[in-house]
Amino acid sequence: MSSTEENLQSAFAGESQANRRYLFFADKAEKEGYPQVARLFRAAAEAETIHARNHFAAMDGVGSTRDNLMAGAVGEHYEFTRMYPPFIEQAESENNKRAQRSFEYANEVEQIHHRHFEAAMKAFDAGQQLKDEPYFVCQVCGNTVAGEAPERCPICGAPASKFKRVE
């Protein structure tokens, strides 16, 4: 019998995934010419976010900003040291090239996220604000760059136009 804490964890995971899944389905419906179906998926996605947020709140998932930066750094570190390397190896051994590339992109970018979070924690502890600047996210590999988009993504080679500005 699982505890309520575990149930919250798995419900949070499921609702979070449903949110992303429905947004991807909405894009597809839009492309196939079903705008109202796209809207339905977006509305359901929005609701799943509320469920995820409620579950996360019931788990006390959101801490102070300092705690949240630490949680981010720990999570990213786990992913690129423990999770993705064996995933990449396994995908390679099964000759699943798409999975391998997807894992490799994430593995590279999690290291960058980890660096961003560590730098933010350092600034935080020194009582400094981070520089006021946008971030640019590569829409191919997820590379996350502060300031301005690089001419070419150093991870996947995508051009600057593939970067989305995040305020």
By CB under 5 A, is residue 107 in contact with Fe ion?
A: no
- Could you give the CA distance from residue 139 to residue 160 in angstroms, rounded to a whole number? 10
Closest distance of CB 23 from Fe ion, Å:
18
**Closer residue to Fe ion, CB minimum distance, 13 or 43:** 13
**Closer residue to Fe ion, CB minimum distance, 16 or 54:** 16
- Could you give the CA distance from residue 130 to residue 135 in angstroms, rounded to a whole number? 12
Q: Which stretch binds Fe ion (CB under 5 A): 4-12, 19-27, 73-81, 96-104?
A: 73-81
**Strand spans (E) along 1-153:** 135-138, 144-146
* Strand order across the 135-138 sheet: 144-146, 135-138, 163-166
- Binding residues with Fe ion: total (CB under 5 A): 11
Report which residue type is found at 9: Q
By CB under 5 A, is residue 23 in contact with Fe ion?
A: no
- Could you give the CA distance from residue 166 to residue 143 in angstroms, rounded to a whole number? 12
By CB under 5 A, is residue 140 in contact with Fe ion?
A: yes
Give 159's strand partners. Answer: 152
By CB under 5 A, is residue 155 in contact with Fe ion?
A: yes
**Closer residue to Fe ion, CB minimum distance, 29 or 153:** 153
By CB under 5 A, is residue 145 in contact with Fe ion?
A: no
By CB under 5 A, is residue 110 in contact with Fe ion?
A: yes
- 144 is written with which tokens? 């996350």
Residues near Fe ion (CB under 5 A): 76, 110, 113, 138, 140-141, 143, 153, 155-156, 158
